[in-house]
């Protein structure tokens, strides 16, 4: 698939089940209230990266696939990619378990 940005991809994946803004920083709290550690991630969890270590600095979101891999739209219009979690971007912030 081509044509998504990061928050658009997560909105496409989860939007039928909940209200989400098309903005990665908002999705951190909108998607759910449980924020698992990296050792407790489950497929479908949303994972976030921040430029300043805070929610307001969140600049990227991806969907955890399992096995240390995520599905992401690196930039608007780029091909959707399967990427190791630790190779996505700098500034890993945390995760949210949708519908919690």
Instruction: Say if 84 falls within a structural domain.
Output: yes
Instruction: Say if 42 falls within a structural domain.
Output: yes
Residue 54: give its domain's CATH number.
Answer: 3.90.1720.10
Give, as one character, the DSSP assignment of residue 79: B
Q: What percent of the chain has pLDDT over 70?
A: 98
pLDDT tens string 14-37: 999 999 999 999 999 999 999 999
Contact indicator for 8, 2 with CB cutoff of 8 Å: no
Instruction: Say if 27 falls within a structural domain.
Output: yes
Instruction: Say if 39 falls within a structural domain.
Output: yes
Q: Which two tokens stand for residue 44?
A: 């479908």
* Whole-number pLDDT of residue 72: 96
Q: What is the pTM of this model?
A: 0.94
Its domain, for residue 10, covers: 6-96
Residues 91, 50, 5, 45: what is their CA dihedral angle, to the nearest 10 degrees?
80
Instruction: Say if 1 falls within a structural domain.
Output: no
Q: What is the mean pLDDT of residues 54-81?
A: 93
Q: Does 81 have pLDDT greater than 70?
A: yes
Q: What is the mean pLDDT of residues 63-71?
A: 98
- Flag the least confident range among 3-7, 44-48, 80-84, 86-90: 3-7
Instruction: Say if 67 falls within a structural domain.
Output: yes
Produce one character per residue of 76-91: b if its CB has 16 or more CB atoms within 10 Å, e if not.
eeeeeeebebeebbee
Number of domains in the chain: 1
Instruction: Say if 80 falls within a structural domain.
Output: yes
Instruction: Say if 46 falls within a structural domain.
Output: yes
Residue 44 CA, chain-centre distance (Å), reads: 9
Contact indicator for 39, 59 with CB cutoff of 8 Å: no
User: Catalytic positions, please?
Assistant: 6, 60, 72
Distance CA 4, CA 85 (A): 19
Q: Does 2 have pLDDT greater than 80?
A: no
């Amino acid at each position: 698939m081509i044509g998504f940005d990061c928050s658009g991809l997560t909105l496409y994946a989860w939007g039928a089940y909940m209200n989400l803004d098309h903005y990665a920083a908002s999705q951190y709290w909108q998607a759910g209230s449980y924020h698992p550690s990296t050792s407790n991630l489950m497929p479908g969890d949303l994972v976030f990266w921040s430029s300043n270590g805070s929610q307001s600095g969140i600049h990227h979101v991806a969907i955890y696939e399992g096995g240390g891999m995520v599905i992401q739209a690196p930039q608007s219009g780029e091909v959707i990619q399967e990427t190791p979690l630790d190779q996505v971007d700098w500034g890993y912030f945390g995760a949210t378990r949708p519908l919690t």
